[in-house]
Amino acid sequence: ATEKYNGAKEKQEKLQKEISTIQDNVARGQQDLNKLRDGLGSMATAQYRSGGLDPSVQLFLSSDPDDYLDKASTLDQLSAQQVEGLKKIQDKQRELAQERAEATEKLKDLASTRTELGKKKQEVQGKLAEAQKLLNSLTAKEKQELADQQARADRSSAQRVELGGNAKGSGFAGAAFSAAQSQIGKPYVYGSTGPSSFDCSGLTSWAYAQAGVSIPRTSESQANIGTRIYSTSDLQVGDLVFFFNDIHHVGLYAGGGQILHAPRTGTVVRYESMSTIGGPFMFGVRV
């Protein structure tokens, strides 16, 4: 649910940037169009002062230059400079109309994406509420067993830091892994990309960004980059590793059958054995 939320959020941010760019282009284009029209106005003024306004220039200043240009029979009444000026206006008007239409479509898409984002957020919050309700229903003994299990996982992570924390990868993967190591102990928060908290794909995208490599935001998108590795024996430190059939969880390979990841709500960034993730290993990706 978190990764679906992340995907909707990423799409919203992308659309907002695209719309902003188009709107800036439209604003600049309108300024250019105004300048072209001002130039035509100056030409008409000069003609008027010199003894009258040429009928062709009156058409030239028409609010519908497309219609005027289509009247080929009048083109021979214009100078080459006038024809060029009018065509520039015509091209600019068409360009602006196209950009405005594109912005309108993207604004519609943005509205539906925002609605989708709200639904995904409710889904995440609903699942968290269900989990909390289940947790609250546990007996004291069950809660203690759960706490002991969490403590063992934390100790395992700490031992991994002490005994194998010097694992090094090469190149960008090594740099990304080192960056992720610096975040051990930071809490898992859904939708978070650091540096104070992370979700699973937030950690991996942040870590690679520290290495100077931009990778997609969500686990599903991250699974479609680089070179896939299906055998765990071929994995190298810093490779992305994906779990579950729908690829909704990702971490960084830490060597020795361990990964460094942000597991889930209620946990922190830590090392963990790939065998205890709770879902099958699908493949790795070397960026």
Instruction: Give me 91's structure tokens.
Output: 């091209």
Whole-number Cα distances in Å, 252 to 6, 187, 238: 19, 17, 5
Beta bridge partners of 252: 240, 260
Choice among 120, 261, 270, 286 that is catalytic: 261
200 is catalytic: yes
Catalytic status, residue 249? yes
Closest CA to 211 of 245, 259, 177: 177
Contact call for residues 92 and 36 (beta carbons, < 8 A): yes
Alpha helices of the chain — where are they, by DSSP H?
A: 2-49, 55-60, 65-70, 80-137, 140-164, 171-181, 200-210, 219-222
Is residue 248 flagged as an active site residue? no
Please identify which of the residues 43, 173, 180, 200 carries the catalytic annotation: 200
Strand ranges of the sheet holding 249-255, from the earlier edge strand across to the other edge: 227-229, 281-286, 240-243, 249-255, 258-261, 270-273
Give the active site residues. Answer: 200, 249, 261
